[in-house]
Structure 1
Amino acid sequence: MPTLITPRLICTPLIEEDWPFFLALQQDPQVMRYVCDHRPESSIRDAFTSRLPAWSPGSEHWLCLVVRERDRQTPLGVTGYIHREADCGEVGFLFAPQAQGKGYGLESLHAVCRYAFTEGGIRRLTAAVTAGNVASKRLLEKTGFIQEGELHDAFWLGGRWQNDWLFGLLRREYGESR
């Protein structure tokens, strides 16, 4: 299972000891505002447990990496990707409020993209962001993702139907944007 290292961060596979941080992240209304409505702890635990098995490129479950500061080992968020097809994957990320706006998301997402394109056999990465989540949109665009469309009434969140912004990034485009 990969460990990704950047100048400020270390991104390590999720382990059982990360449960308190994962739970806190998933229960934070500010973090989950554009992701999903409040869920019972048992549902969050199921999501956590599904990300614990050993992962390798092509696995059917998420590569979930805990993003930490290298110096202090403070957990900041989670990032990773999942293979949707043999050579296509979807990226995702969540960061604690105190870690947002400091470039940690960008730094860790670049590391995930680099890994997916060089080691993971990925040709194309995608991301779906709830319309209105401008911070995540900007992060994806800074990484090189292009908004390719919008799905209307994609899912129910916050008592109403929400649209999804759809993003894509090809391996060759990522190399060009770097």
Structure 2
Amino acid sequence: MFVHTERLTVRRFSPADAEQFAAYRSDPVVARFQSWEPPLPLADAQQTVERFAQGDPKAPGWFQYAVDLDGVLIGDLGLNLHENLLQADLGFTLAAQYQGQGYASEAVHGLLQHLFVDRELHRVSAEADARNTASVRLLERVGFTREGLRPSNTWFKGEWTDDVLFGYLRDDYLSRPQPTPAPSA
């Protein structure tokens, strides 16, 4: 499965992605609002990428998509497909040097188009740490609706954090004008 946007390809992971995956997942800036602790040793990255490469994007559970810019892995999108195969939870990670250039929005928008148009999912949900304002803005920019705030809900890396909840319904996606992909650099 490949999703092509103006500048990116959202694709299945391959074993060749391990080194780049380890590099951006080892960056403390990238890991700040994520569930892992850096650094990510290359051997662990190789095992993780091999597991990702063998996953089934149409089976319930988490599937990780690689975000590729001209053959370079720049990030990943995680999708947790519910048992009913009609709902999913979305997450995203982008290497620090590629942040702030519209790549994450472009990748998320491309995957949403695939999920809502090609696969006809009913709903995609996401949540973000309220302090992660870049992720909150990204979700709003691509069309998610802010559905709630859970104050002091998650014990995360030694402190209580607020969770911002988002949702996107297929009907809303199909009725809204879609964002124009970011211009090429």
Q: Normalising by structure 2, what TM-score?
A: 0.84
- The 5-angstrom pairing of residues 13-162 of structure 1 reads 13-38=12-37, 41=41, 47-57=48-58, 59-69=59-69, 72-86=70-84, 87-162=86-161
2:65 is aligned with what amino acid?
L
Shift of the alpha carbon at 1:63?
Answer: 2.9
SS in 1 for 2:61: coil
SS in 2 for 1:55: coil
59-68 or 87-96, larger mean C-alpha shift? 59-68
Q: Which residue of 1 aligns with 2:182?
A: none
Output the CA distance in 1 between the equivalents of 2:50 and 2:88: 21
Over the matched positions of the two proteins, sequence identity in percent amounts to 29
SS in 2 for 1:164: strand
List alignment gaps of at least 5 residues for structure 2. 178-185
- 1:11, 1:66 within 8 Å by CA — same for their partners in 2? yes
What is the count of residue pairs matched by the alignment?
A: 174
Output the CA distance in 1 between the equivalents of 2:51 and 2:35: 17
Output the CA distance in 1 between the equivalents of 2:60 and 2:112: 18
Output the CA distance in 1 between the equivalents of 2:149 and 2:48: 26
1:78 is aligned with what amino acid?
D
Shift of the alpha carbon at 1:43?
Answer: 6.8
